[in-house]
Amino acid sequence: MNVYEIIWLHGKSEFVTGNDVSEAMNNAGLSAGALRALDYWKEVDELPDHLKNYISISEDENVEEIHNENFIDKLNGTGFEVGSITEIKMGSLIFKYQFVGKTKTGYQYKKIVA
């Protein structure tokens, strides 16, 4: 998966992902008409941090995106060292995530079942 920054004629930019720029534009739903308003595009190394997703992989390989802002804040607060474990307490529940690695589009965690 590659990441592309597209810059519009009015100066705004956005990021799209795909195996190549054509697929990335299609994935983003950009039609030929919209492309006429495109100034240029460039491939970038990765998404900016504020756009990255947080992925949880369970023991049975089920993949889920983490959306809870409190969880994301806790995960960010513990750093991104491979193998590090973050414990998140919510009432009587405890969630544990082990940092697996970083991709171009986000961060991957293994969900640890206690």
The answer to whether the pTM exceeds 0.85 is no
Q: What's the pLDDT tens digit per position in 33-49? A: 888 889 999 999 999 98
Please answer whether residues 47 and 102 qualify as being in contact, where contact means their C-beta atoms are separated by less than 8 angstroms.
no
Tell how strand 106-112 and strand 93-102 pair up: antiparallel
User: Could you read off the pLDDT of 54-104 as tens digits, one per residue?
Assistant: 999 988 889 999 999 999 999 998 888 999 999 999 889 999 999 999 999
* Res 106 pLDDT > 80: yes
Q: What is the pLDDT of residues 59-71, one digit of tens each?
A: 888 999 999 999 9
Match domain 49-112 to its CATH number in 2.60.120, 2.40.240, 1.20.58, 1.10.1200.
2.40.240
Q: Where are the domains of the chain?
A: 2-44, 49-112
With the C-alpha atoms ordered 47, 49, 53, 54, is the resulting torsion angle positive or negative?
Answer: positive
- Select from 4, 2, 7, 26 the least CA-distant residue to 16: 4
